[in-house]
Structure 1
Amino acid sequence: MIPDKIRAREAAQEVLDEFNIKRIPVPIERIIKSKKIVLEYAPLDEELSGMAYTQDGISIIGINALHHPNRQRFSAAHELGHHVLHPAEIQATVHVSKGLRALRRDPISSLGSDPLEIDANTFASELLMPEKFLLEEIGPDGLDIDDDTSVEKLAKKFRVSVSAMKYRLGSLI
């Protein structure tokens, strides 16, 4: 399996269109709940940002309550990406406590080489930082990606981390 970033971006845009999102920050919690996905926050192991699974017809996203709120937003969008892009995989993946099945962030996924993780990250980036809205915020003069103050202000508007914003801006070049 190879990552399909185009499909992931298109799927994120379809969600934005479905919920008629016209401004930032994107209301990720409202989107998840409107899709009838249970969203739970709980303290998890530090390396686990979130999990997505479906069991007995119930779709669930679990988010690490110990992480920064901006990280939680990205994790929620990432896990929504798994529900949208990988519904079969989140029913047949790693078995964790209480009989729940989850896609776990592990050393392989953190390397950025797992196609499912690449797809979900691409989906989350496009969903929370849509190209259209980024270009509007940046304006015709552009943005110096090395200007930390400007990038921080932009990240704050979108309610994402500075590192997520830098990565997203780098993907637009």
Structure 2
Amino acid sequence: MKANPERAREAARAVLQDFGVKGVPVPVERIIKTRNIVLQYAPLEEDLSGMAYIKDGVGIIGVNALHHPNRQRFSAAHELAHHVLHAPEIQKSVHIDKGFRVLLRDDVSSQGIDPLEIEANAFASELLMPQEFLMDALDASGLDIEDDSGIEALARKFRVSASAMRYRLAGRF
């Protein structure tokens, strides 16, 4: 399978439109719950940000409660992407504890080489930092992408990490 990040961004835009999002920060938790996906926060291993799985026909997203709230939001959006884009894969993925079928966010996913993870990151980025709202914020602020304090202020507005915002802006240019 080859990654299709544009398809993932289009899917995120469709979710935003379906939910009627008019501004930021995007209410990712409400979006997940409206889609009848159970969202659970629990302390997980430090290197595990989240998981997506389907148990008894119910979609579930697990997020590491020990991570920063902005990281939790990105993880939740990333795992939502797996439900939206990769439902067949998360039904048949690796079994771990108690027979849960999961798609883990791990070292391989963070390297950006797994097509599913590339798509999930593109979806999460567009969902939490929609291009339309990001362009408006950039136009209003006149932000210089080399300005760390400006990036941090923009990240706070969108309730994402500064590193996620930098990554998103790097893809814009």
Q: Normalization by structure 1: what TM-score?
A: 0.98
Residue correspondences, number: 173
Give 1 or 2: higher helix fraction.
2
Sequence identity (%)? 64
Q: What's 1:49 paired with?
A: 49
Q: What's 2:157 paired with?
A: 157
Confirm or deny that 1:122 pairs with 2:115. Answer: no
Distance 1:76 1:140 in 2: 28
CA displacement, residues 69-126 of structure 1 (integer Å, 9 cap, x when unaligned): 0000000000000000000000011111011011112222121100000000000000
3-state SS of 2:145 partner: coil
3-state SS of 1:60 partner: strand
Distance 2:96 2:69 in 1: 24
RMSD over equivalenced CA pairs, Å:
1.0
Letter in 2 for 1:132: E
Q: Normalization by structure 2: what TM-score?
A: 0.98
Q: What's 1:79 paired with?
A: 79
Unaligned runs of 5+ in 2: none
Distance 2:141 2:30 in 1: 33
CA drift at 1:129: 0.1
Distance 2:102 2:144 in 1: 39
Distance 2:36 2:150 in 1: 37
Distance 2:36 2:105 in 1: 24
Distance 1:141 1:55 in 2: 45
Deviation >3 Å, runs of 4+: none
Distance 2:73 2:134 in 1: 17
3-state SS of 2:87 partner: coil
Distance 1:49 1:141 in 2: 32
CA drift at 1:56: 1.3
Unaligned runs of 5+ in 1: none
Letter in 2 for 1:112: G
Distance 1:140 1:149 in 2: 16
